[in-house]
Amino acid sequence: MASSIRLVTLCLSYLLLTWLLHVTAEEATSSSNKIGLGYRLISIKDAPDGSLVGLLQVKQNNNVYGPDLPLLRFYVKHETENRLRVHITDAKKQRWEVPYNLLPREQPPALNQYIVWSRKKNLVSVSEYSGSGSDLVFSYISDPFSFSVKRKSNGDTLFDSNSNEFNSLVFKDQYLEISTKLPKDASLYGLGENTQPHGIKLYPNDPSTLYTTDVSAINLNTDLYGSHPVYMDLRNEGGKPYAHGVLLLNSNGMDVFYRGTSLTYKIIGGVLDFYFFAGPTPLNVVDQYTSLIGRPAPMPYWAFGFHQCRWGYHNLSVVEDVVENYKKAKIPLDVIWNDDDHMDGHKDFTLNPVNYPHSKLLDFLDRIHSIGMKYIVIIDPGIAVNSSYGVYQRGIADDVFIKYEGEPFLAQVWPGAVYFPDFLNPKTVSWWVDEIRRFHELVPVDGLWIDMNEASNFCSGKCTIPKGKVCPSGTGPGWICCLDCKNITSTRWDDPPYKINASGVQAPIGFKTIATSAVHYDGVLEYDAHSIYGFSQAIATHKALQGLKGKRPFILSRSTYVGSGKYAAHWTGDNKGTWEDLRYSISTMLNFGIFGVPMVGSDICGFYPAPTEELCNRWIEVGAFYPFSRDHANFYSPRQELYQWESVAESARNALGMRYKLLPYLYTLNYEAHVSGAPIARPLFFSFPTYTECYGLSTQFLLGSSLMISPVLEQGKTQVTALFLPGTWYNLFDLTQTIVSKDGNYVTLDAPLHVVNVHLYQNSILPMQQGGMISKDARMTPFSLIVTFPAGATDGEAKGNLFLDDDELPEMKLVNGYSTYIDFHATIKEGTVKIWSEVQEGKFALDKGWVIDTINVLGLNRNGALPKIEIDGEPLMSLSNVQVSTTQHKYLYGQGDGDKILMVGLKGLNIPVGKNFNVTWKMGS
């Protein structure tokens, strides 16, 4: 559900004018160089742990945005061979940082360890610090202090804060500024969450503000639900690509100005805590990043099925009809969701006794659970202020709410007056865990959807419950504030000296959220902790669900922060049923893979107001390949379940039919994400970083390293022009259709209304199953392998893998009897084809009885004679059930090394998945 509709008109009306004024003022201030004159290094030493620690003294104080902090401590350490940390803070007083218990990481030394050094004169003006085995070198200039990070292997400068073009280091209590130079040809990605109209690659002079906000995703270049102050920088030097990552671990609001040749951070609090990741490949960067912030959460198998939701399923019979209509339309469906329609008066952890009677809901859940379907409901953080409400009573008794002037901070969300739980308080976490346990005993849900957790508030300022009127009245839009409120501007927290471009209009930072002078546990200000609210709620919710019967949690969170992917999936919020929003969804999805949140997708067909039939056709053809695939619509929109139009139903059967065949592949990518951070959905440059042509490509994407989706994203189109990087590509819907790209070519593909183009790259082995209406059933069907060689190649190899486990287990790892991992290999050499497997911990797969029924080998030279095949050393003639077929490929574009190439198919193999096998044959001559 969304409250952000209320901000759309405001944001769109004033965005352009206000931002231009903001940028003009910012540039004027920057050019006059009056914010600060920087710091000088006055002391430096090597610490026993191999780190470098120094003291910085302000050169000249001024009061623009407040006085400069007189003395800073900087700390530099090579934490790993590929990760360098640069931490700068007040040398005398502890400042706010992202809590180490929420995001575990090394702690810098205590401030008092080095504050009493003798201050040296005649410090070396330029010096370097290089870690053993590291490709990253830290350099500094002492006066005015600046630092740079270079790549040792090629001398490339990755970060350099020394320039006359921007301010020196500025460090005030509520204003921090630092910049870096960038080469013109650097391609940057990340810095979200926002909707980027120019695609995934950051576009110079597009505004970027990071501050978690409930404002619709249709607002472009605006701070949205998450805060991810990390970017990837990809450069191509002489045809050789190098990628690195930069994280500024800071939860305070910030503006980031990317000018094409520089990047400037302007932050309203906290510390400068930079982490540099050496790469050098995009996958390396995400691996190194998630090794710090936490590996992505393992998702249950069913989560990769299709999900259906709507705000406005008024009663249980409507939900039952939706499930039945999907079945009648023969469209796969794994998970049915409820927005807050199931609640009693919009209150968390309750059931509406009339529209969702408990006994009937339990009967419904028994029926869907018996066939493998799942059920998920929403929870908003705001707890209704209602003395007869048990959740509220227990919360008051345990003192779990955020405070303002000693009393729980009063806000308004869907139930009316609410208090917000303080998830930084250990008592609140225990209370939350208990409330989820109580609710699960009432309703055995299979996951939880945590929404409105930026946190969203329909009011602003200090509010009281009005006397003499009903609030909310029950009529009109539910997001209109009806509390009695007054603005809070009396503190420097509510009205900081520097105004970030909040909501795209420089809105007050407490606008429609918790007042930033409100107080969390242990005196922490909302001013500092605002953007980690959803993150802290996700951690508490994960703890609660993991404690229920020991099953693997599934959590969907709207608000995210650095590290959220360790606990939750994400959807991209309130989008619109437009062709533009369909295109934007790809860029946002790809960004979240870089952010370490690979389980991500957008509301298919748009959240509001109403998609056209054609758009919904095309959207399911994209959404069927989102990692998280869910149709979700607004209360005020017409119904848009996929069966509402027969044409959309046909497209859904086609696209989701393929998704369900690909579930083994998607689930294996889930495992790869969990162990290495590798995104499930990836930009093409992840697999083809040498080719600059794909650096800004945002209309196609990869699943894993080799499966490419090239959808139609424009109205009225029945063709799509797609970039094919060098090599051979095979159409997954028709394996005989082949495209051979020599240099990286754009190819125009037919794409009638019900067709989406999906291509598999050469040198791959893709495991698939036969699909089904529910993932539980699809999972038990026979496997097939698609082996792809370059068209006509006489010497080549292909690889693939498969991970299988008991997806109910909380952990996702290779354990005997509970999981199986298989590496598949294939080679062609001197006319001999070999395909074999290497199985680790085969017992789980053997116990399940899974078998490989079919192997299709693509791209073979046509030599006229049928092959002579052996399976595990036995000639095919003795295996009477195996059928051999040969089919000639068709070149849709280009030509391979042989004029005519074949697909050889083996069917009826019945090879146990958990057992090593070896298939060989010599092509006829």
Provide the pLDDT for residue 36: 80
Q: For the chain, how many residues are written?
A: 925
- Residues 711, 658 share a domain: no
Distances (CA, A) of 278 to 26, 74, 137, 288, 863: 32, 21, 10, 8, 48
**Has residue 2 been placed in a domain?**
no
Q: Residue 238 and residue 29: Cα distance in Å, rounded?
A: 38
Residue 793 CA to its chain's centroid (Å): 38
Alpha carbons 129 and 136: distance in angstroms, whole number: 9
Q: pLDDT tens across 52-70, in order?
A: 999 999 999 999 999 999 9
pLDDT the model gives residue 898: 74
Into how many domains does the chain fold? Answer: 3
Contact 298, 674 (CB under 8 A): yes
- Single-letter amino acid, residue 53: V
Q: How confident is the model at residue 125 (pLDDT cuts 50, 70, 90)?
A: low
Confidence of residue 900 (pLDDT cuts 50, 70, 90): confident
In the residue annotation, 451 being an active-site residue is answered as yes
What is the predicted pLDDT for the residue at 32?
Answer: 42
Strand pairing report for 603-604 and 629-631: parallel
Residue 748 lies in a domain: yes
- Residues with Cβ within 8 Å of 25's Cβ and at least 6 positions away in sequence, in order, are none
Tell me if 31 is assigned to some domain: no
Q: Which single residue is written with the structure tokens 């839009």?
A: 477
Residue 655 sits in the same domain as residue 702: no
Instruction: Please give the average per-residue pLDDT across 492-500, as a whole number.
Output: 97
CATH number, domain with residue 818: 2.60.40.1180
The reply to whether 277 falls in a domain is yes
**CB-based contact 862:839 (threshold 8 Å):** no
CB 630 within 8 A of CB 309: yes
The answer to whether residue 296 sits within a structural domain is no
Terminal C-alpha separation, the chain: 64
Is 19 inside a domain boundary? Answer: no
pLDDT(124) > 80: no
Tell me whether residue 1 is in a domain. Answer: no
Tell me, yes or no, if 495 is annotated catalytic: no
Residue with the two structure tokens 């609090």: 269
Q: Which amino acid is at 900?
A: K
Dihedral-angle region of residue 792 (phi above 0 means left; psi in -120 to 50 means alpha; beta otherwise): left
Same domain, 642 and 699: no
Q: Please determine, for residue 697, whether its predicted confidence score (pLDDT) is greater than 50.
A: yes
Measured distance CA(174)–CA(67) in Å, rounded: 9
Using an 8 Å Cβ cutoff, are 818 and 806 in contact?
Answer: yes
pLDDT of residue 878: 64
Measured distance CA(692)–CA(76) in Å, rounded: 33
Does residue 587 sit in the same domain as residue 706? no
574 is catalytic: yes
User: 405: phi > 0 → left, psi -120 to 50 → alpha, else beta; which?
Assistant: left
Residue type, 475: T
Q: Which of 668, 701, 733 is the last residue of a domain?
A: 668
Considering the domain architecture, whether residues 274 and 340 belong to the same structural domain is answered as: no
Q: Are residues 600 and 744 in the same domain?
A: no
d(CA 859, CA 761): 11
CA distances from 464 to 353, 386, 459 (A): 30, 14, 11
Percent of the chain exceeding pLDDT 70 equals: 94
Indicate the residue among 263, 291, 319 that finishes a domain: 291
Identify the DSSP state of 608. B
Angstrom distance (rounded) from CA 665 to CA 336:
23
Q: Residue 111: which domain range?
A: 36-291
Is the pLDDT assigned to residue 25 strictly greater than 60?
A: no
pLDDT digits (tens, 9 = 90+) for 550-583: 899 999 999 999 999 999 999 999 999 999 999 9
In this predicted structure, what is the pLDDT of residue 429?
A: 98
Instruction: Please pick, among 380, 451, 526, 581, the residue that the annotation labels catalytic.
Output: 451
Query: Which of 247, 269, 291 is the C-terminal boundary of a domain?
Result: 291
The kind and range of the H/E element at 529 are helix 526-529
- The structure tokens listed for 423 are 């998830």
The CATH number for 206's domain is 2.60.40.1760
pLDDT tens digit sequence for 322-363: 999 999 999 999 999 999 999 999 999 999 999 999 999 999
State the average pLDDT over residues 490-501: 95
The answer to whether residue 9 is domain-embedded is: no
Number of H helices, E strands in the chain: 14, 53
Q: What is the pLDDT of residues 255-292, one digit of tens each?
A: 999 999 999 999 999 999 999 999 999 999 999 999 99
- Characterise 547 by phi-psi region: left (phi > 0), alpha (psi -120 to 50), beta (else): alpha
pLDDT on residue 114: 55
**Are 287 and 305 in a shared domain?**
no
Which pLDDT score, from 0 to 100, does residue 298 have? 98
What's the CATH number where 618 sits?
3.20.20.80
Mean pLDDT over residues 159-170, rounded? 93
Cβ–Cβ < 8 Å for 613, 641: no
pLDDT exceeds 80 at position 28: no
Identify the pLDDT of residue 126.
61
The Cα–Cα gap between 468 and 384 comes to 19
Which percentage of the chain shows pLDDT scores above 90?
A: 86
The answer to whether residues 218 and 161 belong to one domain is yes
Residue 13 has pLDDT above 80, yes or no: no
> In terms of domains, do 478 and 411 share one?
yes
- CB burial of residue 818 (10 Å; 0-12, 13-18, 19+): middle
Task: Please indicate, yes or no, whether residues 255 and 311 belong to a single structural domain of this protein.
Answer: no
Residues 365 and 510 in one domain: yes
Q: Please indicate, yes or no, whether residues 359 and 454 belong to a single structural domain of this protein.
A: yes
pLDDT mean across residues, the chain: 93
